[in-house]
A = this chain, B = another copy of it.
Amino acid sequence: MMKLYDFTIAPNPRRVRIFLAEKGIDIPLQQIDLMQGEQFSEDFSKKGPLNDVPALELDDGSCITQVNAICRYIEALYPDKPLFGSTPKEIGEIEMWDHIAFMNGIGAVAEAFRNEAEGFVDRAIVGKHKHAQIPALVERGRKRTLNFFSDMNDRLKDNEFVAGNRYSVADITTLVAVDFAQWIKLEPSADQEHLNRWHALVSKRPSAQA
């Protein structure tokens, strides 16, 4: 039976939980307490190369880590209601916008957060190697987050969803990035009407509670 190693409040596991909820799939969750450093335990270290959650344990005991690796495994097993697209063009456009949302959204907020938070001293980059926090990245990450809001507001002016006219994994990544920005006390401004319209739309889907 599959099992997902999770940490409820963390943004990356939430991306997988929303994905599973959209698919209508229910699998057991096991909490790995990142605040207590449980990801570095001897047991969990064997689960994947970067000591990170989410991690999906398969029936054979092996693990798949990295959000989109898990989601693509799930999509391959359960192809109904595709979230990575159906036609070649949809598949390309969704991957394009998902990657942009990951790099410029999730990546920007994480840059500001991990380089400042007390719990991430010497762990500014995910993985087993130590990296000191760099104060200049706090400011850069915040600036990039605001750029992301602005760019996505433009993108959503003429597109109902991030990758076009259908809900996709790119909406999940963008939603989690926008909500994650609350950790660094940033949110879209009231006049970013397209981003706010979209945020309300995707937040009222039941999956957003996952």
Contact = CB atoms under 8 A, between A and B. Distances in A.
Interface of A: 48-50, 56, 58, 62, 64-66, 68-70, 72-73, 76-77, 87-89, 91-96, 99-100, 104, 125, 127, 129, 131, 134, 136-137, 140, 143-144, 147, 151, 155
Closest 7 CB pairs of A and B: A73-B92, A69-B96, A76-B88, A69-B95, A64-B92, A66-B99, A66-B96
A49 B91 contact: no
A100 B140 contact: no
A68 B151 contact: no
A70 to B, nearest CB: 7
Contacts of A69: 92-96, 99
Contacts of A73: 88-89, 91-92, 95
A47 B21 CA distance: 34
Nearest to A73: B92
A66 B94 CA distance: 11
A165 B131 CA distance: 32
Contacts of A137: 134
A164 to B, nearest CB: 11
A62 B88 CA distance: 13
B50 A70 contact: no
21 contacts: A49-B100, A58-B89, A64-B93, A65-B96, A66-B96, A66-B100, A68-B95, A69-B92, A69-B93, A69-B95, A72-B91, A72-B92, A72-B95, A73-B88, A73-B91, A73-B92, A73-B95, A76-B88, A125-B144, A131-B140, A134-B137
A78 B172 CA distance: 28
A100 B55 CA distance: 14
